Amino acid sequence: MTCTQVREQLGGYVLGALDPAEREAVAEHLASCPACAAEHARIAGLPALLEHAEGLEIPAAPRAVEERVLDQIAHERGVERHARRRRRALLPSLGRGRALLAAAVAGAALGAAVTAIALDDDPPGRPPSYELALRGSGGASAQAKLTPGHGGTEVHLWVKGLPPGGEAVYEVRCERPGWSASAGTFRTDARGRAYVVLTTAARLGEYERIRVVRRPDENLVLSGELQ
């Protein structure tokens, strides 16, 4: 057997896929040819590595996770900027800067203390986003970011402290007395948390509170008021 012939057999040889006679001929050649033995050594460890990959198929990356990562980064950047500006604003003159809408009121439904702040990092000319804290019983709470969009509001909602997992479905509603518009539904994860991006046809100004109710029994679980 020539070296060229042996090289072409090496793949089948390391994978144990040659006939016995071929295998023997290759083994004999390798024992006496350092160059081919070196080629063999380069790939001899591969079958052991491949064993670890047996049955593994790379799945598609979930698109929703990509969006959640980007949303969370945007959120953290916003919070960081907001904190920076607040620190600057609080330095020598307390009245400096755009007056922020900040109010703590007693929420009617659950005795909720609610704060709504206009995020001041929005570029000029664009309507501001609002952040709203929602409170509920049993330690449940949520943070909502409301951004006016085409024909309604985009609601980013970070929820924690709800009963973990399960089949419970929660609905987010934008409301004022006698009027209600749904922003959609969500479920919680195994730790009672959720992060969702919902859209409602309700425009900022048309509603004065956000409530989260459990379906289908309509139990109120979270509530927060815009001022």
The residue written with tokens 């997992």 in the block is: 165
Which positions from 143 to 172 touch other proteins by CB under 8 A, shown as an x/- string? ----------------------x-------
CA 60 to chain centre: 16
Q: Give which of 167, 114, 159 is closest to 139, Cα–Cα.
A: 159
Close Cβ partners of 38 (under 8 Å, ≥ 6 residues apart):
none
* Residue 72 binds to other proteins (criterion: CB under 8 A): yes
Nearer Cβ to other proteins, position 82 or 203? Answer: 82
* Residue 50 binds to other proteins (criterion: CB under 8 A): yes
Quote the tokens at residue 186.
């969500």
* Beta strand pairing call for 113-118 and 130-135: antiparallel
Among 65, 91, 94, 99, binds other proteins (CB under 8 A): 65
* Residue 111 binds to other proteins (criterion: CB under 8 A): no
* Residue 190 binds to other proteins (criterion: CB under 8 A): yes
Q: Specify the 3-state DSSP secondary structure of 217.
A: coil
Contacting residues toward other proteins, per CB under 8 A: 7-12, 14-19, 42-50, 52-62, 64-66, 68-70, 72-74, 77, 165, 189-191
